[in-house]
Structure 1
Amino acid sequence: MLTKWGIAAGLVVAGITIAGQPTFSPPPNAPTFDFPLPTPGQPTGGPIIVPRPPTGEVRPTRPPGVPVVLPRSVNIQLKLERDGSVSVVEQVIVQAKSTMTRTAPLRVGDRVFTVSDPKVDGNGTASVTGDQLVIKLGEGASTVSYKLDGAIADLGDRLQFRWQVASGWDTKLVFLRASLLTPKPGYDFVCLAGAPNTEERCDSAVTDAAGILRVLHSDLDTGARVDVTATLDAGLVPATAKFDSGVAGTGPFALTPLSGGGLGLVLLLLIGGFAVVLTARGRDTRALAAEGAPVDVLVGQGERVVFASPDGILPGQAGTVIDERVDPRDLTATVVDLAVRNYLWITEAGPDWQIVRRNAPDDALTAYERAVYDALLPEGTDAVTVSALRSTPPRVAGAQSAVYADAVSRSWLSRRPGGLGKVGIIGAAVAVVGAAVTVALALSGGPALLGVAVVIGGIGLLLGARLLPARTKRGGLLLQQVRGLHGYLRAARPDRVPVADREMVFSRSLPYAVALDETKQWLERNAQTMSAGLYWYAAQEPRFDPRRFADRFPALVDELDAVFGKR
């Protein structure tokens, strides 16, 4: 009784569907498939998977041998060959002035299928593109045939057939019929219909007296699948199933030629970037280890001699280029240099010192020098004692940032030490964009691994920027020149400078001696020549004493270091 109601239910679905469709007249030579159904009372080889109709409901029947021919219907015949391959023939009826396209996945989970020799008898084409079987058909009736491999899996004591007889159609299927012929009848048939990974059963799945599985289903949604499995006796045919657990199916994170190429390209770029980082770090290590070549900072101008620093570097920048860090000593050297250049006046006030505004900052000062000047003498303040600065230390964070920015603008440093720099910022931006692309591709079913490749590239740039030395190639060359300047400060003698130029050369050299921690030695060798006094420093005694200045000035340097060290 259940068999009769199941068959009737399948037929009434077809009948109702036909009644609701526009009139369609297939061409005279349209192929049809003989699809015999069990007659009432005829035994079947398997259960019918269909809900039992309400008691008393009468279902119409179709005369035997009359095929169902209506638009957007598919008839499928599958024949399992002795070599384990499956011969597939699909008859598709396309509505007038319409097209139908099937993009069937050949990779389901870790299961890999192979389709060969696809052909179309009728209005359309069939081909295998990557991991997909693509069938494109125009109006009318067409027959598609192909050979399928990979449908038979070895389960040890039995074999299992599996194939999605319908999947990837770009239009709703009104009616589907399928038959599976095997060398020996199978059992434990399961037919699932609907969206991938759902468990909804087909309208009808029944075996006839000959052991042929017959499947009926109507109204299959666009993109849905009909997945048929059957159990067969062990050894009936060779197992042909292939599995690839290293590839995550056909999902957005599947490793395809496109995504694999993207990952490979990123890997090559990372290797190249790693080589660049190693080269830069090696160059910087050699620059740090090398001895500085002698640098002649005394430049003749006629009969006069002036002091000229290498590459125009200022005292506050010299120490930063050496250790890539703005220390209190670098800011102290800047204060002394501002006094030497007539922007400030330093005068002794008992055991203390007073710093006095002499000339207002102008365009000759860099941003960091102006920041130091304003930190010591804010607008409206003309003088300040060093002891007052120690009690209320000035804010010099802006000056420090300006020193780094100035070194970067001169291409001595590529970035602020500890910062990201341009390369790091670009890397962070690329990683964020890659993450957004990954999410978008994953949601749309696209090759999301391409987005992952972009993320990896961005992270590589970000890490590479942090591993690169902050000092540039030009900065490395300047480092050698600064070491040469240091050598000059250690070896210079006053007798090399004309008497008329000694005060200026001594004064212009002193801030660099402060920055390079050479203050005491420089004063011991040169201060005695300043018996006439200094134009930027006022001693407490009526007569300038070079020896007393050499003793007191290092204390001023230490006091200013303490002021800037309290920030």
Structure 2
Amino acid sequence: MVRTVRSTTWALALVLTALLLAVLSAAPARADDEQAGRISRLDVTAELTPEGGSADVVVELDLDLGEEEAHGPFLVLAELQEIVGDPDHYRRLTVGDVTATSTTGAPDALRVEREDGAVQLYVGDEDVEITGLHTYRITYTVDGLINPDVDGTDELFWNVVAPGGFELVLSDVSVTVAGPPGAIDAACYVGATGSTHECDSSVASEAAAHRFSQDRLDPGEGLTVVLGWPAGTFTGAERELVARRTFANTVQLTPLTGALAGGATLLGAGAAVAVASRRGRDEAYLGLTPGLVPAGGAAGQVGRRSRRDPVAVRFTPPDGVRPGEVGTLADEVADPHDVAATIVDLAVRGYLRIEEVVSGGDDERVDDVGGDERGDGAGGDEQGDGGGGDEQGDGDKDWRLVRLREDLGQLEEYERGLLERIFADGPSVLMTDLADTYALTMSTAQRDLYRTVTDRRWFRGDPQRVRRRWLGRGAGLLALGAVATIVLLVLHAPVILGVPPIVVGVVVMVASSAAPARTAAGTAVLAQALGFRQYLATAEAEQIRFEEGEDLFSRYLPYAMVFGLADRWAGVFAELARHGRDVPEPDWYVGTVTAAALWSRPETFGETVGAFADTATTAVTSASGGAGGASGFSGSVGGGVGGMGGGSW
């Protein structure tokens, strides 16, 4: 009894809810129908031919636009359809012999377009818009609708109106299928995709025709019909399948292809890493403390370098080794920072002077000698309100390089070449004026640095050339893999077999950075350089010893630059100045910081020199410009083949 009462209560609630929704939505629905236009009658007739199962289709429709303007109707007919359970193929339908007429005199020009597996039919004149009610008759043929011998039945499983196909409301919908006599079953479904709701009526006539009807289809709803005949009724009817490209069937990953591709990739990548590790392993003198070389020029016993060998602190740079060479030896790369440190080193050694200037204004040099104009404060630069700033008026910071010496005989080739290219147009040049030529200047200096460290026999081969050879081999493997992938794609072969050379090519290119190898002599100098780096990184102010007037700060600053320790090195000498030590002012750099203020605000000088180094490094940048054939009698809307959609255009 309780269950009966509850069921009755729920039924009443549902009825009341339905009535309320009908009252609230009835008027807007009618308004939408009138505003959007609708097809007030749709009659589809298909006559099936026993030989081959082709269908002659006639579509008659009444397009009621009301006050809305449009050119006419358009229909979309499916030709390629996905197959449930078969991702490797499409079901093909062939639409042809399309005609269109209007019995009410509306423009009936026909435009047929094929795109993305569908035939698009546009009826009307694109230069003429119409309103009101118009009748159209569209005919076409379609092959491939019949599913032969499905569980002993030749079957028509046809999406007459595809779910989601029409943008307009369809009223008075009827479908007539005329085929061979002897149909053994028929069904009709209506609604959204997957719906099993039956059509309003289904009638079989004595003339071997079945008629299905539906009073109304809302926008997006579909209508699917199913008819069956004994197997063999349609002779020669076949489902036409065409290949469908998907990621899975393109790659064709199977246990066999996966094992082949994976094995080849692992072997190739492993071989590349092993070769790079073996050839890129540094040599070292065996039995000697790191940093020492055999006495008297003896060859000594050479073996593989152990990265676990301890490095002893060294208080001076390696003898006769300039900062750019140290930087190249340390990381096997002659990078722009090494060239910038070389410029500063040449300035420290008296070959040029670096002057800070204000560009964009009067382009005047800003001296740091005591007699220049700096505002009211003694020794202070002109900074507006308050001290500590470094504003120099309008304009951007720039640097002028001034050549001081002409005798270059004591310099290395890369140093001479760098000076000659910087001062090619005269004894003084602004960094901004070098922008157009600095890319070539930088690349040439880097090339010469590589040549120098190679000529000194610190590397078994030019590091840059060694890396380029490996990069070239990696790029070749990448190209080979790309070509193989394209060929496999064209041949419909497993594309995954083109992956190994691509992956191995990438590994070879990555391994190129480890390919250069130092000789035993180069490893000995590297140990000395790393020992000196340890000193620069750990030295405290009270440990610094230098003679009066000796500018130890400037001498070691370029080395600190290549190791990224310039700020720390400046801070150490600032601490010395605070303890009353007489720390010389660098004479190779003319900037905005006075002698009195230099070591009280070393961060300003460090930032300024750092800014110059960054400019010297990055100037190169500014210079470089149902379809599967399953039975439809347990099916639903959208489960068949084909499908028509459309609206007005």
TM-score scaled by length of structure 1: 0.38
The one of the two structures with greater contact order (alpha-carbon pairs below 8 A, sep at least 6) is 2
